[in-house]
Amino acid sequence: MELVEERPYRFRIERHGDMRVPGVVFASRELLADAEQSLRQVVNVATLPGIVGASYAMPDIHWGYGFPIGGVAATAVDDDGVVSPGGVGFDISCGVRLLAADCERNEFERSLPAVMDGLDRAIPRGAGPGGVWRLTGPEQMEQILRGGSRYAVEQGHGEERDLIRCEDRGAVADADVTQVGERARERGLGQVGSLGSANHFLEVQQVAEVYDATAAAAFGIALDQVCVMIHCGSRGLGHQICTDHVRAMDRAMARYGISVPDRQLACTPVESPEGEAYLGAMAAAANYGRANRQLLSDATRAVFRRSAGVRLSLVYDVSHNLAKIESHLVDGVRRRLCVHRKGATRAFPPGHPDLPGDLREAGQPVLIPGTMGTASYVLTGVPGGDAFASTCHGAGRTMSRHEAARTVTGRQLRDRLEHGGIAVRPRSLRGLAEETPEAYKDVGAVVAVSEAAGLCRTVARLVPLGVVKG
């Protein structure tokens, strides 16, 4: 794959073959080591009908289902542009939420063991069923799918202010619950308010460094402050929705005269029955994911209140896996686009009208979960950003789960973290080993390259005090 370095940290793959637009990859040569397969996916995405601008990749690019993880692609709705479930991925609306405690690390330290034990009991996690909410029935599932975090708050599981600090005020309006299949609902029923497994986590963290004091103050975080980061998605419900709609699109594609270089790129026009059905179901899964994070926040707040007398206020909640209809300038013309972000984060710049008033000057908080036991970051959008106002989402794997688990046992890793002063509450030791930091890229490098490429600005670095994992 020939990469032309247009300017530092911005590489171009010129149009060739069936590509409708070029590929643009924000990265360093180092981060692109072993990226051949995922760069092929960048090229494949560039062939999709209606794609505009470029097929973009963020510095944490790695191989995914059809689209690369770290991929951003926008299609023109009014020009038969397509929507593809592979451009969102299986974990629809997987995302991150950051809460800030009203205390510093020093005063909190003696409460940490009790808080960690409380979280160990209060946070459902791991594969399969389990959740903080036992649903009263199918009607309540519909309310979650329509109302997201807003519904959870209405039911007493949060504060009105939380919603101001959620992307889309906690719920997307265009959920179509009729497009969520029976099987997806069944799988989601017993998992409302649960972390899941793999790279999902809940961490108690400390702000270790502030790079932009003005933005940090606007976000409500300061040096040494205790925070909680929650990283999870839409569990089996989102997974089943993706499975169902990929199948439907795979069958329908030919009727629209669409052919793609990889079946995993199954897609139909945004304005087709299949496209609208997927986007409606995807929005419902997005609301489920937000309700999930809201309920986990509520459970976490109860533990912090009981065990430490500490209050948590929401900094922000943002998704990493979503397609959205947005308005952007393309070659000087304002167009309605379907922006797919898969392992990429929307990053509104300062002044964006959709930001809440108290964040308007600073820009949108972008939350980057790091690898376990290392660091996580808070970033913000910048004026003149790129890739339809998007940036990176995390570290990105370099090692398979199997490979990772061969390098270290769960017990060894737990001891190493505990000796490093990080309390660990794993559900499974095997799962812990699979998430060893060596299996991931350096999140610090990903963030530094994202900033150097002009996609965002670094606001703060957070380090873990305690890890709760599946």
Size of the site for DNA (CB under 7 A): 25
CB of 90 to DNA, least distance (A): 3
Site for DNA in 240-259 (CB under 7 A): 240, 243
Give, in degrees to the nearest 5, the angle at Cα 98 between 60 and 424. 80
CB of 198 to DNA, least distance (A): 3
> Is residue 38 involved in binding DNA (CB under 7 A)?
no
Provide the sign of the torsion angle of the four alpha carbons 38, 40, 42, 48, taken in this order. negative
CB atoms within 10 A of CB 51: 23
Count CB-CB contacts under 10 A for residue 8.
Answer: 11
| One of 233, 275, 365, 437 touching DNA (CB under 7 A) | 233
The one segment of 19-27, 77-85, 234-242, 293-301 that binds DNA by CB under 7 A: 234-242
Closest to DNA by CB, 236 or 363: 236
Catalytic: which of 16, 239, 393, 419? Answer: 393
393 is an active site residue:
yes
Nearest to 198 by CA among 369, 318, 375: 369
Closest CA to 133 of 119, 146, 122: 122
370 binds DNA (CB under 7 A): no
Task: Give 199 or 458: the residue with its C-beta nearer to DNA.
Answer: 199
Interface with DNA includes 427 (CB under 7 A)?
no
294 contacts DNA (rule: CB under 7 A): no
196 scored as a contact of DNA (CB under 7 A): yes
| 173 to 161, 256, 283, 284: CA distances (angstroms) | 19, 28, 8, 9
Segment near DNA (CB under 7 A), from 164-172, 190-198, 416-424, 449-457? 190-198
State yes or no: residue 401 binds DNA (CB under 7 A): yes
Residue placing its CB nearer to DNA in the complex, 31 or 52: 31
Q: Binding DNA by CB under 7 A: which of 127, 164, 302, 429?
A: 127
- The SS3 of residue 179 is helix
CA dist list (Å): 76 to 52, 82, 324, 386, 389: 7, 8, 12, 17, 16
* Closest alpha carbon to 291 in 157, 165, 197, 179: 157
Choosing from 1, 15, 128, 416, the residue that interacts with DNA (CB under 7 A) is 128
DSSP labels for 325-367? Answer: EEEEEETTEEEEEEEEEES-EE-PPTT-TTS-GGGTTT--EEE
Taking the complex as a whole, the smallest distance from the CB of residue 105 to DNA amounts, in Å, to 27
Least spacing, CB of residue 85 vs DNA, in Å:
12
Query: Is residue 236 part of the contact set for DNA (CB under 7 A)?
Result: yes
Token pair of 205 as six digits: 């963290």
Q: How many CA atoms lie within 13 A of 162 on its CB side?
A: 29
- The binding track of 71-100 with respect to DNA, each residue x by CB under 7 A or -, is -------------------xx--x------
| Those residues with Cβ within 8 angstroms of residue 191's Cβ, 6 or more apart along the chain or in another chain | 124, 129, 130, 131, 235, 236, 237, 292
Strand partners, 246: none
Is 235 a binder of DNA (CB under 7 A)? yes
Please select the residue that binds DNA; options are 85, 193, 363, 470, rule is CB under 7 A: 470
CA distances from 75 to 163, 194, 388 (A): 29, 33, 11
Q: Looking at residues 327 to 346 of the shown chain, list those that interact with DNA (rule: CB under 7 A).
A: none
Candidate ranges 167-175, 198-206, 210-218, 257-265; the one touching DNA (CB under 7 A): 198-206
Buried b (16+ CB within 10 A) or exposed e, 143-154: bbbbbbbbbbbe
**Where does this chain touch DNA (CB under 7 A) — which range of 51-59, 113-121, 235-243, 297-305?**
235-243
Positions marked catalytic: 393
Question: By the criterion CB under 7 A, which residues form the site for DNA?
Answer: 65, 90-91, 94, 127-128, 183, 186-187, 191, 196-200, 232-233, 235-236, 239-240, 243, 397, 401, 470
